[in-house]
Amino acid sequence: MGILCSSRFRPLVGFSLVLAAFGFSGCAKHAQSSGPVGNIFRYALTTEPTTFDPVEVQDVPTEDLLQNVYEGLVRETATNTLEPALASSWTLSADGRTYTFKIRPGVKFHSGKVVTADDVVYSLTREFDPKLASPVAISYLGDIVGAADVSSGKTTVLSGVKAIDPSTVSITIKEPKAYWINVLTYPCAYILNKDAVDKDPNGSVTANNEDGTGPFRIASYIRGQSVDLTAFPGYWDGAPKIAGIHRPIIVNANTRHNLFLTGQLDTVDLSAGQLQHDETDPVLSKEITFFARATTEYIYLNQKAYAPFKDVRVRQAIAYAIDKASLVKLVYDNHRDPAYDMLPEGIVGFDPQFKGIQFDPVKAKTLLAEAGYPGGKGLPVLQIFYGEGHPDTEKAVDILRQMLSENLGITVQPRQTEFATLIQMEDNGACPALVLGWSADYLDPQDYYSLLFGSTSFQNHTGYANKVYDALCDRADVEQNQQKRIALYRQAAAIVVSDAPAVPLWYGKDPELIRPYVHNLSDSLMGHLPYSHLTLGP
């Protein structure tokens, strides 16, 4: 799912409109909900949607919204495996390069148009359209033969994708990669209706011209207030059990919590402080659920925006100066696990014995002095960016500020930033340091090593480059023997953790309050799955 920023915020203009719409004022007292309202599932968006176009999605909240509206050829399951979606089946050629998909018979877009192989060709070609300048297309699907030529404007024909007949499409990649089909779960591989896209003068997908195949369609979007979805009765996998989904845009964590307490939300995320309080409540304590996540929260150190980070010793000093165990205890009361590797538990290749860089303030001071900055003297002020609106992230950044000051003498300036702006700054390499999370796009170590830190990867925003690391990842990416492949990634992991272009902090685990009348909530390590089978009632 790419970038996961739990910290979101929008200006107070519009925010007051949300409160008014819910009739909310002041501090709420606990009141148990009497039950669902109108068979509508109500849960908040923690940020304004960054886009409605699948080729532009980079953040978890927006992906969570759009996965209920659009689909790709394959999808993730609650058992963290892959299964057919718009494709009913697929085969792989003997050389491991060509996937041939059979389109599921009778699947329709929300408009009623039947999905064909031509729609797949159109959608995968469109994502590389240079006019759209997708920030994710090449990163995730650039292995398709001809992708670079379309992206550079040399041609408008994606040679690696062919409609063999109306119900059969083939996709050929440049070289065999064992993990590759999993990439097709990412939003940029969602299948679109060209007729609907063409309704927008700029050829963009908006809330007004969506035409997906998912279990829900967009009924309305009011910027700063809400997104409402309505059930699609013609959904190929069976009509949803609920009538719709109401997503009020509530950027303030305390406001979201209070709306749950007053019965106006059916589920809500919990900050560490809220969790601590709710665990003592006789009613709320029974409504808390923890969800394991394939997520690693980390601080990346961008040598393109902060020159001292070009010296590996400065980056290593930062890593040794951070007491992760204390950080997790102070922020999350040990409801998270400290992270010493970028790869989280649950993904093949995770090594629980891997120690990474341990807290050692003496070594941190020595390294910084060797780099020419004894006691932090001569270092520019370090700005650490993070998204606004989430108290846990704000607290973590403040603790990091104290640790770097006390252990290294570094002056840190925390910089809260509106979420969409933060994503843009990251894409432009403008953040000297940034605290954020990486949530699995697909459950494979390639997503955490090659994609995040490969020197030519579009997702590498740190300026990090190591030829030995690249070579190991390149070999692992194409290795067909799983045991050998994992061994190569483990070697790469040791290098990138030591080089410290980013410092992993903790692994993800999401606590939520969920009303007892919410049933059949499908979930995976990557997050909640589409709500097509969710029910509300006794």
Q: DSSP 3-state assignment of 99? A: strand
Domain boundary among 167, 196, 225: 196
Could you tell me which of 243, 264, 245 has the C-alpha nearest to residue 255?
264
Cβ atoms of residues 15 and 169 within 8 Å: no
Reported confidence tier of residue 447, pLDDT bands at 50, 70, 90: very high
Count the helix, strand and coil residues of the chain and give each as a percent rounded to the nearest 5.
Answer: 30, 20, 45
Please determine, for residue 469, whether its predicted confidence score (pLDDT) is greater than 60.
yes
User: Does residue 265 sit in the same domain as residue 164?
Assistant: no
- pLDDT for the residue 247: 98
Q: Which amino acid is at 129?
A: D
User: Does residue 435 sit in the same domain as residue 313?
Assistant: yes
In percent, the amount of the chain with pLDDT more than 90 equals 88
User: Does residue 304 sit in the same domain as residue 402?
Assistant: yes
DSSP code of residue 124:
H
- pLDDT for the residue 527: 93
CA distance 384 to 401: 9
User: Does residue 463 sit in the same domain as residue 520?
Assistant: no
Strand order across the beta sheet in which 168-172 lies: 87-92, 98-103, 168-172, 161-165
Q: How many CA atoms lie within 13 A of 42 on its CB side?
A: 22
Cβ atoms of residues 525 and 508 within 8 Å: no
Residue 376 within any structural domain of the chain: yes
Reported confidence tier of residue 33, pLDDT bands at 50, 70, 90: low
Residue 329 within any structural domain of the chain: yes
Cβ atoms of residues 173 and 160 within 8 Å: yes
pLDDT mean over 425-449? 93
Residue 490 within any structural domain of the chain: yes
Domain boundary among 148, 173, 196: 196
Residue 16 within any structural domain of the chain: no
Q: Which H or E run includes 245? A: strand 244-248
Q: CA-based angle 260:263:266, to the nearest 5?
A: 60
Name 527's bridge partners. 524
Domain count, the chain: 3
Reported confidence tier of residue 26, pLDDT bands at 50, 70, 90: very low
Cβ atoms of residues 300 and 501 within 8 Å: yes
Cα–Cα distance list, 480 to 151, 181, 486 (Å): 28, 14, 10
- pLDDT for the residue 32: 58
pLDDT mean over 254-262? 96
User: Does residue 272 sit in the same domain as residue 231?
Assistant: yes
The length of the chain in residues reads 538
Range of the structural domain that residue 234 is part of: 36-52+59-67+207-291+510-536
User: Mind listing the pLDDT tens digit for each residue in 55-81?
Assistant: 999 888 999 999 999 999 999 999 999
Residue 3 within any structural domain of the chain: no
Rg from Cα positions in the chain: 23
Phi, psi of 91 (to 5 degrees): -130, 160
pLDDT mean over 293-312? 97
Q: CA-based angle 252:256:262, to the nearest 5?
A: 145
User: Does residue 85 sit in the same domain as residue 181?
Assistant: yes
Tokens 């059949």 belong to 520
Q: Which H or E run includes 240? A: none
Phi, psi of 40 (to 5 degrees): -110, 125
Residue 13 within any structural domain of the chain: no
pLDDT mean over 477-498? 97
User: Does residue 276 sit in the same domain as residue 425?
Assistant: no
Could you tell me which of 175, 108, 166 has the C-alpha nearest to residue 144?
175
Cβ atoms of residues 41 and 518 within 8 Å: yes
Residue 495 within any structural domain of the chain: yes
Q: DSSP 3-state assignment of 151? A: helix
Residue 17 within any structural domain of the chain: no
Please determine, for residue 369, whether its predicted confidence score (pLDDT) is greater than 60.
yes
- CATH number for the domain spanning 307: value is 3.10.105.10
- pLDDT for the residue 35: 84
DSSP code of residue 56:
G
Q: CA-based angle 8:46:404, to the nearest 5?
A: 30
Mean pLDDT computed over every residue of the chain: 92
- Rounded to the nearest 10 degrees, how much is the dihedral formed by the CA atoms of 183, 443, 83, 68? -70
- pLDDT for the residue 15: 27
| Residue 29: Cβ-neighbour burial (10 angstroms; 0-12, 13-18, 19+) | exposed
pLDDT mean over 41-57? 95
- pLDDT for the residue 489: 98
- CATH number for the domain spanning 167: value is 3.90.76.10
Question: What's the first-to-final CA gap in the chain, in angstroms?
Answer: 33
Q: CA-based angle 419:59:314, to the nearest 5?
A: 70
User: Does residue 409 sit in the same domain as residue 444?
Assistant: yes
Domain boundary among 168, 196, 224: 196
The model carries a pTM of: 0.85
User: Does residue 176 sit in the same domain as residue 232?
Assistant: no
Reported confidence tier of residue 390, pLDDT bands at 50, 70, 90: confident
User: Does residue 345 sit in the same domain as residue 447?
Assistant: yes
CA distance 416 to 7: 9
User: Does residue 341 sit in the same domain as residue 278?
Assistant: no
Please determine, for residue 442, whether its predicted confidence score (pLDDT) is greater than 60.
yes
- pLDDT for the residue 30: 52
User: Does residue 216 sit in the same domain as residue 130?
Assistant: no
- CATH number for the domain spanning 217: value is 3.40.190.10
Reported confidence tier of residue 29, pLDDT bands at 50, 70, 90: low
- pLDDT for the residue 423: 85
CA distance 360 to 499: 16
